[in-house]
Structure formats: C-alpha cells, structure tokens
C-alpha cells in the first residue's frame, strides 16, 4: 500500500489493480512479459533468477502443437520452415532468461512425442539444409530429420 501511495504522490502514477502487483521478489516469483522473476542472494550480491512463466509455457506448447497439426495436414517445405521459424522465435525471445534451458527441456519433453507420432509418414533421412540450419546446428553431432512433400 505504501508503494502505491508513493508512486501516486511522487510520480503521479495510478496503479491498476488488475494489471499490476507489488511483490517482494525475495520471497515470491512475479510474472512480467512472459518471464517468471525472483531475486536471490549470491554472496553479497543480489541476482535475478528468471524462467519462462507457466502461462507462457502453456502458450508455447499450444502454438507448437497447432503448427505440428498444420504440418501433418499439409506436409510441405513451407510448413516445416514456419515451424522452424516459430521455434527460433521462441528461442530468440526467451534466450535472456537465466534458466531457459530447463524450461525449454520441459516444453520439448511435452511436445516431442506428439511431433514424432504426427510426422511418422512424412519424414525422411535425406534433404536440403538451409544456411540458417547449418549456422545454428552444423557443429552438432546428430542425425537431422527432413520433411518431404507428398
């Protein structure tokens, strides 16, 4: 209450209760722009711990599953490229979170089986690799999966 009063008196700002909240970040997480934030102590310093928020994780999973459904119904290079662009977009937005790898591993676990089962009939072991693919994944030692058109 004191913070709201101070913001109103000093800065002339009014706080909208449904959009804003005042939180003690030492004790609780808060959601902001798809990130879950909390402060923690490391020696004499205070650091910010950030994750992908639970709401954002659910939204990401839903969008990925929608994209997988589109690939299944219309197996084309364009749909596969849109799927890859969607994944890269999520990675680029959330890459600043300190624990993003843990959060994305949870998301991958939840959608991997869906992706595998939905693309059984349309995937192959040969195909073309784009410059972006080679730039991002060229040094990794795994077998790529290709979508081919019917």
**Nearest Cα to Cα of residue 98 among 41, 44, 35:** 35
Q: Which of 7-16, 42-51, 103-112, 122-131 has the highest mean pLDDT?
A: 103-112
Going by pLDDT thresholds of 50, 70 and 90, the confidence category of residue 73 is confident
pLDDT in tens, 37-57: 878 888 888 888 888 889 999
Distance (Å, whole) CA 38 – CA 131: 38
Distance (Å, whole) CA 1 – CA 81: 50
pLDDT in tens, 83-104: 889 999 999 998 888 888 899 9
- Alpha helices by DSSP H, listed for 17-130, are 54-73, 77-94, 100-118
């Amino acid at each position: 209450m004191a913070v709201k009063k101070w913001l109103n008196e000093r800065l002339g700002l009014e706080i909208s209760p449904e959009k804003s909240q005042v939180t003690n970040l030492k004790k609780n997480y808060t959601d902001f722009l798809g990130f879950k934030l909390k402060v923690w102590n490391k020696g004499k310093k205070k650091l910010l711990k950030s994750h992908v928020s639970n709401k954002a994780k659910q939204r990401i999973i839903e969008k990925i599953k929608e994209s997988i459904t589109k690939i299944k119904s219309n197996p084309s290079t364009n749909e596969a490229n849109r799927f890859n662009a969607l994944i890269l977009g999520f990675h680029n937005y959330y890459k600043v979170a300190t624990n993003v790898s843990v959060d994305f591993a949870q998301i991958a676990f939840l959608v991997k089986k869906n992706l595998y089962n939905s693309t059984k009939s349309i995937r192959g072991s040969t195909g073309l690799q784009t410059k972006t693919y080679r730039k991002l994944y060229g040094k990794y030692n795994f077998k790529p999966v290709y979508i081919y058109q019917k």
